[in-house]
Amino acid sequence: MRLADWKRVLVFGAHIDDEVIGPGGTIALLSSLGAEVTVVTFTGGDHETGYARPEWKESIAQMRRQEAAAADCILGVRERIFLRKPNQDVPNDGPTYRECTRLIRALRPDVILTHWEEDKHRDHRTVARLTDEARWKAWDHVLADLGEPWYTPELYYYELHELFPHPSILVDITGTMERKLAAMAAMTSQLEVMARVVQCIKGLGAMRGFLRGTDHAEAFLGSNLMATLL
């Protein structure tokens, strides 16, 4: 595995900001290497629950989409797709599963980054299951109306609430840590929802960097749901 070989990168996240808190430094690094990074956010519609003040309830969806656009510019995300599923109630159903399969076939990624199934958040667990299985189904010669089959060579989970005991890879993000922090700073509404999130990002980045021998790093865990084709 070489990061320079990842020309098309597909990142799945349940919520606006998951891709920042998790693999934000790696996204910035990949975009600087010339990769086309697409983020698929499962929520982002009118059923947002991430507001810390009651008066934000009616405007939070628009606020978060604006924050996402600012963060995308900072990280170098080429495109963000909103599936507009309800926050804290992302469905693990047939239509959502097939939409993930269709997106993988349409975008033809070299690698997929997604949530880990052992995360605390119910939406994160749902997205992990949907996308890991959709990667396999996208290669299967079925559902022809969803596009030509596509095999994605690699899928990695990223860390959020739960930490990997034995990561598969550690990516040096020393050169892009400031961009990750700047992207998180653009998520203004969430700095009250997650009061110590910046402290968490810095601490985890430093800890993973210690393990890698760099100032900062991000950890990923490889999926073994689908066999590697050689």
Tokens standing for 204?
């985890």
Pick left, alpha or beta for residue 222 (phi over 0 → left; psi -120 to 50 → alpha; otherwise beta).
beta
Average pLDDT over residues 134-160: 97
Are the C-beta atoms of residues 216 and 229 closer than 8 Å to each other?
no
Q: Which of the four pLDDT bands, split at 50, 70 and 90, describes residue 1?
A: low
**What pLDDT, on the 0 to 100 scale, is given for residue 7?**
97
Res 12: pLDDT: 98
CA nearest 30: which of 49, 63, 4? 4
Q: Which amino acid does the sequence have at 62?
A: Q
Mean confidence (pLDDT) of the chain: 94
Please say if the pLDDT value at position 34 is more than 70: yes
Look at residue 193 in the predicted model and tell me its pLDDT: 85
Give the H or E element holding residue 82.
strand 79-82
CA angle 183, 189, 191 (to 5 degrees): 70
Flag whether pLDDT at 229 surpasses 90: no
Residue range 47-84, pLDDT digits in tens: 777 776 876 667 788 889 999 999 999 999 999 999 99
- pLDDT at position 8: 98
Burial class of residue 127 in the structure, from the number of CB atoms within 10 Å of its CB (0-12 exposed, 13-18 middle, 19+ buried) = buried
pLDDT tens-digit series, residues 70-125: 999 999 999 999 999 999 999 999 999 999 999 999 999 999 999 999 999 999 99
Q: Which domains does the chain have, with CATH numbers?
A: 3-222 (3.40.50.10320)
pLDDT at 45 over 80: no
